[in-house]
Structure 1
């Protein structure tokens, strides 16, 4: 560790059990590991020097950002033969190019900081998710994060023009290009985005910025039935076109976990179908235009009997309250006890059938459980979670069901042509299952890429593959 101290300073090499502890446990507290040390570099050059040193000494590396992942991808393995390289000190906003509509940032920059920096410049960086106050751009890139505005702006891969990477042998890939068109061979950035630190360490990125919308209109609606969600989004796309920014499907069971009754949302919570949609339009026109557009769309939806009720936000605060409810479901559901989570993707046309069919099969086997479903139905991504009905159901009771429940849900996902990992990644949680969910050609190609770029298997070993 003496050589590491020379590179980044004594205070940035953590070796005591007490100092290392926060970096060795994942956010969900399901995965923990061991590490020789936690290293906290400040620059790309320092990371490159550390990686070269680890490569020479055959020491494995676990890259870590805000440590908000849900699949154990940023947690070191239990061997105790690795170091954690934490990027949170690597947090500089390098450049804003307004003429090119780009922002270049270090990978340790917190997502909310990037959003706020763009906002001060009169621009929008649209990635938005519940952990935005603590997750980092590097983690967002590593998992190809999505969030609530994917419908309009795409996920992290769509939002990224160029990246800087420290490779597995400590070289620096200088790829911070702000080009929309760069057809010069293989797209190396797309290999690293979504790779969860298994191929190298992303140290910076050039990201797209967008004009800041002049107005937004938000509504929470009770839909007639689950099939109406698909009809409603189709209508919204036809009537609102690119102004449709977000379209979230939420079971009223999930929404009821938030203390919303005082917000006068009881009519939505009591929807007979058990389902609601939270949608938002954003426009370069004035607020009167956006509200009129939303009201016209909802009026038609009422006439077509897609919805039973609707609440339109009358102020910025009311809009925030609606989104606060959606964003706080992941935390609120924890009061139900042990949650078995699924981050899945289903073709939009098959969501209704998947939800109904899977609910029946789950209830037949485990009547003592309940589903808590919410997600970005605009891109087919559902957070399909199970919780005990009785809050006194023991931890061991739910844990004993985890493997069987996962198998049933994931089998259903693939029966309906979906994916068992939409935006949280593979990490440790889904590593063993991945070979059964992707065909042998895909797995062999992934292994070949891993071996070519990380021949010593030192970059985040035992993750993904």
Structure 2
């Protein structure tokens, strides 16, 4: 009997799935870049069953791969090809444990779909602000494990800023319960923060206490054509000033990104007819019923027009029009797929450097990309740029993009490093970015991460080959 068979034999039969058709839904990553094999998918019903699974895997040295909604971009939840790694999904652990409206907090199972957390908050007239294009399928445990960003980070921060406490099954099967939704708690190390962004390499998040906020009762959304990339930061500053720092989203979209989307989906409508290379989607909101966001945005709009920063724009007059604006933003990756796919660069720089980086990066691709097309968009408020390169029209995409990855991508990452930026802004490391970490990461940080991994998971059971790779670091 193999090691993983010993684990499976000791588990309740009700939580073991051996149907290959079901398992195959988890053995290929979202981008179809990585594919592995697994003999079984484990679907525990409680934290105690998760602890049992982990304890058995630790005892028999069987690698365990936590999977969520399978919406990640870095292969962080995909097993290897050995067929010896077990998969674990918390999809059956999807309860809302507690909503404390007065404390502005919610405690949930890690298997809850993000949109379900939204709905639970809305039922008590509150809001959980993490908003992602995949929110109908991604799980909150996955959001925590990858430290997801989202479009509302300008106002509310990223996942790390929204987590109050976690319940975690550690690699030896112990349960670390730190779910108390306190705002101030100085009892030693904030251990739960170590698990955020760890991608399941240090344990399995089974529950989370999260911050809630008063919902917007006064919200305004606008789609703007702007004069130039250098107007981005002055416009964000103006918007913050006019709205009293109530801007929740400030999204940059290149004209090229929109053109790709409209070429692939001609049924979509352009929000503004004025031609431009640069567009902004802005949203501001307040929970106050007396502050007039529409007047604030109109004043911002007029000021931007008078200074010739804004060429044209439309303010949404209905919820449907607002959704239409956001659908354009969220479907830009689909536009890239419809045009042969892209080499993605999920990077970040200082907010103050964002415009200059886009300028220099675009010049770089134009010089070395042999006719490559660019799709650039991002979250201006947190410095995150999706700087993606596509093949020219009429050129076989696969071979061209492979060449881009080998010859152009290193130049882009070199430029990010010159700006003291990050080669991974919001997708994590997974297995896809381990080589980038070797080239551009901090070696001291990498060694420290390896030592922490070795202390908590000395048998390398938890999601091996991800975040810190497979190396065993010398603890000395």
TM-score by length of 1: 0.96
2:207 maps to 1:201: no
2:13 alignment partner, one of 9, 16, 28: 9
Partner of 1:430: 433
Displacement after TM superposition at 1:260 (Å) = 7.3
Partner of 1:131: 134
CA contact (8 A) 2:224 2:272 kept: no
Which whole-Å deviations, capped at 9, do the CAs of 1:109-165 have from their partners, x for residues lacking one? 000111111112110000001110100001100010010000000111100000000
Displacement after TM superposition at 1:45 (Å) = 0.6
Partner of 1:35: 38
What is the aligned residue count? 461
1:304 alignment partner, one of 300, 303, 307: 307
2:474 maps to 1:448: no
Distance in 1 of aligned mates of 2:62 and 2:82: 11
SS of alignment partner, residue 456 of structure 1: coil
Displacement after TM superposition at 1:392 (Å) = 4.6
Point out where structure 2 has 5 or more consecutive residues left out of the alignment: 469-476
What's the Cα RMSD here? 1.7
1:211 alignment partner, one of 202, 210, 214: 214
Displacement after TM superposition at 1:436 (Å) = 2.1
SS of alignment partner, residue 267 of structure 1: coil
2:56 maps to 1:53: yes
Distance in 2 of aligned mates of 1:261 and 1:242: 36
Partner of 2:118: 115
2:93 maps to 1:90: yes
1:79 alignment partner, one of 64, 78, 82: 82
SS of alignment partner, residue 449 of structure 2: helix
- Where do residues 152-231 of structure 1 align in structure 2 (5 Å cutoff)? 152-231=155-234
SS of alignment partner, residue 211 of structure 1: coil
2:378 maps to 1:378: no
Displacement after TM superposition at 1:223 (Å) = 1.0
CA contact (8 A) 1:161 1:208 kept: yes
- Where do residues 282-361 of structure 1 align in structure 2 (5 Å cutoff)? 282-286=285-289, 289-361=292-364
Distance in 2 of aligned mates of 1:84 and 1:131: 21
Distance in 2 of aligned mates of 1:283 and 1:401: 44
Distance in 2 of aligned mates of 1:46 and 1:391: 53
Moved runs in structure 1, 4+ residues, more than 6 A? none
Q: 1:357 to 1:3 in 2, by over 3 A?
A: closer
Distance in 1 of aligned mates of 2:245 and 2:462: 40
CA contact (8 A) 2:90 2:110 kept: yes
SS of alignment partner, residue 124 of structure 1: coil
CA contact (8 A) 1:25 1:31 kept: yes
Range that drifts further, 134-143 or 349-358: 349-358
Partner of 1:464: 467
2:261 maps to 1:255: no
Partner of 2:149: 146
Distance in 1 of aligned mates of 2:346 and 2:216: 30
Point out where structure 1 has 5 or more consecutive residues left out of the alignment: none
Distance in 2 of aligned mates of 1:403 and 1:369: 14
Q: 1:117 to 1:410 in 2, by over 3 A?
A: same
Partner of 2:474: none
Partner of 1:390: 393
Displacement after TM superposition at 1:2 (Å) = 6.7
Q: 1:287 to 1:34 in 2, by over 3 A?
A: farther
CA contact (8 A) 2:272 2:312 kept: no
Distance in 2 of aligned mates of 1:221 and 1:266: 8
Distance in 1 of aligned mates of 2:240 and 2:296: 12
Distance in 1 of aligned mates of 2:34 and 2:345: 16
Q: 1:260 to 1:230 in 2, by over 3 A?
A: farther
Distance in 1 of aligned mates of 2:231 and 2:332: 22
Partner of 1:421: 424
Distance in 2 of aligned mates of 1:262 and 1:427: 34
Displacement after TM superposition at 1:54 (Å) = 0.5
Distance in 2 of aligned mates of 1:431 and 1:25: 18
